[in-house]
Amino acid sequence: MDVHLVLIDALNLIRRIYAVQERPFLLNNELSESTKQQVLFNTQQACALALNKIIEQSNPTHILAVFDSQSPCWRYQLYPDYKKGRKKMPEHLANKLGDIQDEFMQQHVDSLISEQDEADDLIATLAIKLALRNQKTTIISTDKSFLSLLNPNIHVYDYFNRRYLDESYVKEKFAVKPNLLMDLWTLTGDTTNKIPGVPGIGQVTASTLLNDYGSLSAVLSATDLKATIKNKLIESSEIMAIGKELLTLKTDIPIGFNLKDIRFHEAEHTN
């Protein structure tokens, strides 16, 4: 049978929905206790509605909501400043995740919660496994890291803007093809996740280099680079090595279930 696996980057979806529900009630960046409960209720209902819309739009044969590990992943051990300064999930929302997962199960969508990896790595592993079997995967997320996986069998859908983030989108936004994104961000760094890049090299310079030479390895081995660029790359070799490892999505995480375990039964969903 033709498989269409839909993988939902669950916290990406939930946190964005929560932010929309919370915004009208914020007073001095705080919520009263009674208001918190109302916002959480609204968030749970909105998440259920979003899931229903995702199912209707994508028509999956298999579907899974993927959650991050509750404990810090391996990237923090490699680079302690990873995601430093990013706003943490509110405790009351973290405590509500179990109820939201139960809400998803009401629509026959199971949740996968990693013990030690980020959802990004689990999603990448599953998507690549399916792509190697020439089967289709759609990733529901606004996380740009998934754009590096784009190919004829792997698609990325932005639920909030109701659009597929395809190769044309990548070229327009980053000026390189999807297969060069990790090289691009290795050079420029990733401010969202506090991953450093090469000082003095921005997106325009990085994309020009990659398009001219074809890859980061070709750039690094080139003999005709400007001396200023060459020196920056040499001086930042350690930074680039760490950045590349932090940015690269794992695609070999052991998955303890079969595809049939996440088969979506449409008849059950609609009844």
What are the pLDDT digits (tens) for 186-243? Answer: 999 999 999 999 999 999 999 999 999 999 999 999 999 999 999 999 999 999 999 9
User: Residue 108: which residues within 8 A CB-CB, separation 6 or more?
Assistant: 264, 265, 268, 269
The answer to whether the CB of 131 falls within 8 A of the CB of 151 is yes
Residue with tokens 């088969």: 263
- CB neighbour class for 179 (10 Å; exposed up to 12, middle 13-18, buried from 19): middle
Strand-pairing partners, residue 140, are 8, 157
Using the predicted structure, report yes or no on whether residue 270 has a pLDDT greater than 60.
Answer: no
> Could you report the per-residue pLDDT of 153-178, keeping only the tens digit for each?
999 999 999 999 999 999 999 999 99
Average pLDDT rounded to a whole number, residues 20-35: 82
pLDDT at site 115: 80
* pTM score of the predicted model: 0.94
pLDDT at site 34: 84
Q: Which domains can be identified in the chain, with CATH numbers? A: 4-170 (3.40.50.1010), 175-247 (1.10.150.20)
Percent residues over pLDDT 90 in the chain: 83
Average pLDDT rounded to a whole number, residues 106-128: 93
Pull the structure tokens for residue 232.
Answer: 């920056």
The answer to whether the CB of 152 falls within 8 A of the CB of 95 is no
Closest CA to 178 of 162, 155, 212: 155
